[in-house]
Chain A
Amino acid sequence: MRNKVVLRRLLANRQARYGLIALALLVVLAYFGPYIGAHDWSEKDFLSFLSAPSADHWWGTNQIGQDIYAVTLHGMQKSIVIGLLVAVISTGLAALVGASAGYFGGWLDRAMTWCVDLLLVLPSFLVVAVISPRLKNASWLWLVVLLAVFGWMITSRVVRSMTLSLREREYVLAARYMGIPGWRIILRHVLPNLSSLLIIDATLNVSGAILGETSLSYFGFGVQPPDVSLGTLIAAGSDKAVVYPWLFFFPAGLLVLLVLSVNLIGDGLRDALDPGSTR
């Protein structure tokens, strides 16, 4: 019943519809755009370094003659996956850990809070530096895991404290007296009532992950040159943004569009889940 009602409300929401369409268009652009362009992303045009956008190179070229259009779209393929996966995993982890710590209390709460605190105090780059040699040639999906693992702690503390107050609500009590197991109460009653917070957190995580991925590249995983991602492109283009704006603005613009469409979907989802919204 709820899934049907929420889906109906989501599709009835104008913001969410625009967001979904925009995201779909971006995915189509990332995966099918390169076939339309005249150049391959790995191809170097030695006749034009740092040339401005033109009929041949639609979005210009960079200092080694790569076509920005092809490179950016190639980078975006990876970044969409990284951004969405990291957001879902880290927010999901935060929600599950925080809610179970808050709901069950007792030793589980103490153990989980201790773990969260430990992860918060440990500088994440230290841990990454220690394990990076082992993952030298591993898949770039490990990047997703690492980004997610270091991004969920603060949210989970917020979720935990909100769960503590939700746990005392009468509807949770009612569910408990009905004989419904704890994990199901968490999934059915606690998390839906935290959905506004979780959705905002997940949307913020999308852009955070895309940009944060560059800092991990430093350790040598995942996206390594010559391979590119939106994050590395933005990092590389940012210092030349004033003189060669196309190096920076095309990847940055796509990132903004991506985040914006995710935001619209998030807002729509929040309204669809919240019966208080009038739309």
Chain B
Amino acid sequence: MSLLEVKDLTVTFAGGIEAVRGVSYEVSRGEVLGIVGESGSGKSVTSLAVMGLLPENAQVSGSVKLHGRELLGMREDDLIKVRGKAISMIFQDPLSAFTPVYTIGDQIAEAVRVHQRIGKDKAARQAVELLDLVGIPHPDVRARSFPHEFSGGMRQRAMIAMAIANDPDLLICDEPTTALDVTIQAQVLEVLKTAQRETGAGIVMITHDLGVVAGMADRVLVMYAGRPVEQGPVDDIYYRPRMPYTMGLLASIPRIDGEEGPLVPIEGSPPSPRALPPGCPFAPRCPMKVDACDDEEPDLTAVGGGRQVACIRSREIEDKGLTGADVFPVPVIPADELVRVPRAERSTVLELDGLVRHYPLMKGSVFKRRVGTVYAVDGISFDIAEGETLALVGESGCGKTTTLQQIMQLEAPQDGRVVVLGKDSANLDRSARKALRRDLQIVFQDPMAALDPRMPVGDIIAEPLRAHGFPDRVDELLELVGLSPADAGRYPQHFSGGQRQRIGIARALALEPKLLVLDEPVSALDVSIQAGVINLLDSLKARLGLSYLFVAHDLAVVRHLADRVAVMYLGRIAEIGTVENVYDRPAHPYTQALLSAIPLPDPAMERSRKRILLEGDLPSPADPPSGCRFRTRCPLFARLPESQRRRCVEEEPSVVRQARDHGAACHYAEEIEVITASDDQEEK
């Protein structure tokens, strides 16, 4: 008998908005079910409904059975006994999931004591054991820490410890690693696997990241517009998808082992639950749509092999063996003229030479005194040639954003030089700075925050034009990024995330800049939308001869868009070179770990892949380790004999050339392949 049985679950919010429209699934003991979908597809609401945690204005109908016992309509008193004991939940944001005024140990002990009749001391001991299990160093000491003293990754581990405290039968994980950096994500996923092994629990894993699901799940449920559209074993879904939406989703993800070239976007955006199309909700975006699709919404029907698909043409897809790349139109991106010119002969648009930015750490409210220095950016150098894309990658806190700000401000840096289009930022006067701003524009990460909510789109795009006395060409710009000139009178909030990002790009392009700085331009977007924006950036670059400085934490996107890549760690560059060199032959241990931590949307590869797991968290930039900054977490350092370690502790490595256009800041750099490295290869 299955552990959890959900049947025809529907959730209706006030105003008749159906967020979930008939979801059915089962989870057995020890099984991992991945629920995948874009934002607004109803995947989180489904799990909240299972837990009985939805607000009172939500009407839930259908059936949710745990061990054959109906949970819907159960009295709150009884439900409390189930929650945290038989089912527990791991939330996305671990900071808001802990009470800030109690210690982590107390909160875990409380979770134990709520459901088990044991003494305080014993519960506290159990809390320490649990923290040990999830890999928190010095668990007896850390149990007495408060949540804010933990880093994001440690908090998420503590959250897992709390969730498994009562040996639950079912764990619901709602985007458990979305807020974390990749190397930390790899650690947490590993802990989650350990936790499942220890408790034998079934797991419902909700995420939008198809790579995470590929590595964790046994079965996958794909949701779209509040309904499951495809369900089946993980290999079938990934290798033989039968629903066009799943096919498009899989084809649209950029992959670190992927081919270069255009991605496959799904046109349009998910429907609003207020205005669902008549028939199949995916029909308006579906390239395989036929007239019959509009007649009625297809049911989820079993097609054998434990699979269910909601598409009237699924049999045809099966017979013809179609994939996303066959079905969805792949845009043609014109080749860049400049690329054929050798790099050395192109002019340099941006040059950073030993850029330094330190922030003073102040203490005291009345008499401020300096108690330390945050080494945000500590001497980095790189250059960008005309028509080239350089990606700056690294985890949060590595100094990417500070570097961007230093470039955009066009003011004299604390130390080092910033040269934009041959002009040193230290020698600029007011008018020269303003003139230079024309050629240097930025696209921000969050498309909502970067557009003035009180300004019609036409004004937003016209603003740079007016400021620099350009003729009005708002309509032309809107068309350039794939929007209609009729949209000029609407406000930013009337657009979807992807469209807003296009508006941001149109504004940045208004002045025909030569260098465009992209600050995580796609990380706030859903996968299917992301592909469209990446393709747009790619084609604009070729058409307008732009150069990009692209800041990102997503290495897969970088592989698609960038020509060269610089990996940053704690304010320094760890490795720099062409994308092929850095991705296929990474030389710095940090780059290797970063690349190996990224989950691939490929279940077979994920299962056999060998991971380089990093220990611990990023050290504070206010107190970087001596010598090589990475040595505290370095797997190579751990393997080195004492005599060689000395050099890492005492001497700070600088970027050393490995090959043509490839350099790494490591004393003992060795190139290895990590993306496709598997356990079998290791044995050979």
The answer to whether A and B assemble together is yes
Q: Hey, which bits of chain A sit against chain B, CB under 8 A?
A: 1-2, 4-5, 169-171, 173-175, 177-180, 184, 188-189, 192-193, 195, 273-276
A174 adjacent to B468 (CB under 8 Å): no
Which residue of the partner chain, among A2, A5, A171, contacts B449 with CB atoms under 8 Å?
Answer: A171
A2 adjacent to B455 (CB under 8 Å): yes
Residues on A with C-beta less than 8 A from B511 are 178
Residues on A with C-beta less than 8 A from B464 are 178-180
Give Cα distance in the complex from A247 to B277, angstroms. 64
Which residue of the partner chain, among A1, A2, A171, A275, contacts B494 with CB atoms under 8 Å?
Answer: A275
Among B459-501, those with CB < 8 Å from A are: 459, 462-464, 467-468, 488-489, 491-494
Say whether, besides A179-B467, A193-B453, A174 and B444 are in contact (CB < 8 Å): yes
Which residue of the partner chain, among B449, B455, B467, contacts A170 with CB atoms under 8 Å?
Answer: B449
Which residue of the partner chain, among A1, A174, A179, A274, contacts B456 with CB atoms under 8 Å?
Answer: A1
Say whether, besides A169-B449, A175-B463, A180-B467, A5 and B442 are in contact (CB < 8 Å): no
Which residue of the partner chain, among A178, A193, A276, contacts B467 with CB atoms under 8 Å?
Answer: A178
Q: Closest 7 A-B residue pairs measured CB to CB?
A: A275-B491, A179-B437, A170-B450, A179-B434, A192-B454, A1-B458, A171-B452
A177 adjacent to B442 (CB under 8 Å): yes
Give Cα distance in the complex from A170 to B442, angstroms. 11
Nearest B-chain residue to A8, judged by Cβ: B489
Residues on A with C-beta less than 8 A from B467 are 178-180, 184
Give Cα distance in the complex from A279 to B450, angstroms. 25
Q: With both chains docked as a complex, state the minimum distance between the C-beta of A170 and any C-beta of chain B, in angstroms.
A: 4
Question: Within 8 Å of chain A (Cβ to Cβ): is B677?
Answer: no
Give Cα distance in the complex from A274 to B454, angstroms. 6
Which residue of the partner chain, among A1, A169, A175, contacts B462 with CB atoms under 8 Å?
Answer: A1
Which residue of the partner chain, among A5, A189, A193, contacts B489 with CB atoms under 8 Å?
Answer: A5
Residues on B with C-beta less than 8 A from A275 are 453-454, 491-494
Residues on B with C-beta less than 8 A from A170 are 444-446, 449-450
A174 adjacent to B507 (CB under 8 Å): yes
Residues on B with C-beta less than 8 A from A4 are 489
Q: With both chains docked as a complex, state the minimum distance between the C-beta of B564 and any C-beta of chain A, in angstroms.
A: 24
Say whether, besides A179-B434, A179-B437, A193-B452, A174 and B442 are in contact (CB < 8 Å): yes
Give Cα distance in the complex from A179 to B463, angstroms. 10
Among B401-420, those with CB < 8 Å from A are: 408
Give Cα distance in the complex from A184 to B455, angstroms. 14
Name 10 A/B residue pairs within 8 A (Cβ), A-sorted: A2-B455, A178-B437, A178-B463, A178-B467, A179-B434, A179-B437, A180-B463, A192-B454, A193-B452, A275-B492
Residues on B with C-beta less than 8 A from A173 are 444
Given contacts A1-B462, A179-B433, A179-B468, 5 further A-B contacts (CB under 8 A): A4-B489, A174-B442, A178-B463, A178-B511, A275-B494
Question: Within 8 Å of chain A (Cβ to Cβ): is B441?
Answer: yes
Q: Hey, which bits of chain B sit against chain A, CB under 8 A?
A: 408, 433-434, 437-438, 440-442, 444-446, 449-456, 458-459, 462-464, 467-468, 488-489, 491-494, 504, 507, 511
Residues on B with C-beta less than 8 A from A189 are 452, 455
Of A169, A173, A178, A180, chain B has the most CB atoms within 10 Å of the CB of A178
Nearest B-chain residue to A3, judged by Cβ: B459
Residues on A with C-beta less than 8 A from B438 are 179
Give Cα distance in the complex from A1 to B457, angstroms. 9
Nearest B-chain residue to A191, judged by Cβ: B454
Which residue of the partner chain, among A5, A179, A188, A276, contacts B493 with CB atoms under 8 Å?
Answer: A276
B449 adjacent to A188 (CB under 8 Å): no
Residues on A with C-beta less than 8 A from B507 are 174
Give Cα distance in the complex from A177 to B433, angstroms. 10
Of A170, A173, A175, A273, chain B has the most CB atoms within 10 Å of the CB of A170
Residues on A with C-beta less than 8 A from B440 are 177
Give Cα distance in the complex from A17 to B511, angstroms. 40
Give Cα distance in the complex from A93 to B326, angstroms. 63
Residues on B with C-beta less than 8 A from A2 are 455-456, 459
Give Cα distance in the complex from A173 to B519, angstroms. 13
A1 adjacent to B468 (CB under 8 Å): no
Nearest B-chain residue to A2, judged by Cβ: B459
Give Cα distance in the complex from A61 to B433, angstroms. 71
Q: With both chains docked as a complex, state the minimum distance between the C-beta of B295 and any C-beta of chain A, in angstroms.
A: 33
Give Cα distance in the complex from A179 to B469, angstroms. 12
Q: With both chains docked as a complex, state the minimum distance between the C-beta of A248 and any C-beta of chain B, in angstroms.
A: 42
Say whether, besides A1-B459, A1-B462, A192-B455, A177 and B450 are in contact (CB < 8 Å): no
A171 adjacent to B459 (CB under 8 Å): no
Q: With both chains docked as a complex, state the minimum distance between the C-beta of B470 and any C-beta of chain A, in angstroms.
A: 11
Q: With both chains docked as a complex, state the minimum distance between the C-beta of A135 and any C-beta of chain B, in angstroms.
A: 40
Nearest A-chain residue to B450, judged by Cβ: A170
Give Cα distance in the complex from A119 to B446, angstroms. 41
Residues on B with C-beta less than 8 A from A175 are 463
Nearest A-chain residue to B445, judged by Cβ: A170
Give Cα distance in the complex from A179 to B458, angstroms. 19
Which residue of the partner chain, among B437, B455, B459, B491, contacts A177 with CB atoms under 8 Å?
Answer: B437
Q: With both chains docked as a complex, state the minimum distance between the C-beta of B108 and any C-beta of chain A, in angstroms.
A: 36
Give Cα distance in the complex from A273 to B453, angstroms. 10
Residues on B with C-beta less than 8 A from A174 are 442, 444, 450, 504, 507
Q: With both chains docked as a complex, state the minimum distance between the C-beta of B473 and any C-beta of chain A, in angstroms.
A: 14
Residues on A with C-beta less than 8 A from B408 are 177
Q: With both chains docked as a complex, state the minimum distance between the C-beta of B70 and any C-beta of chain A, in angstroms.
A: 39
Which residue of the partner chain, among A1, A177, A179, A273, contacts B454 with CB atoms under 8 Å?
Answer: A273
Give Cα distance in the complex from A144 to B408, angstroms. 46
Give Cα distance in the complex from A170 to B463, angstroms. 15
Q: With both chains docked as a complex, state the minimum distance between the C-beta of B532 and any C-beta of chain A, in angstroms.
A: 22
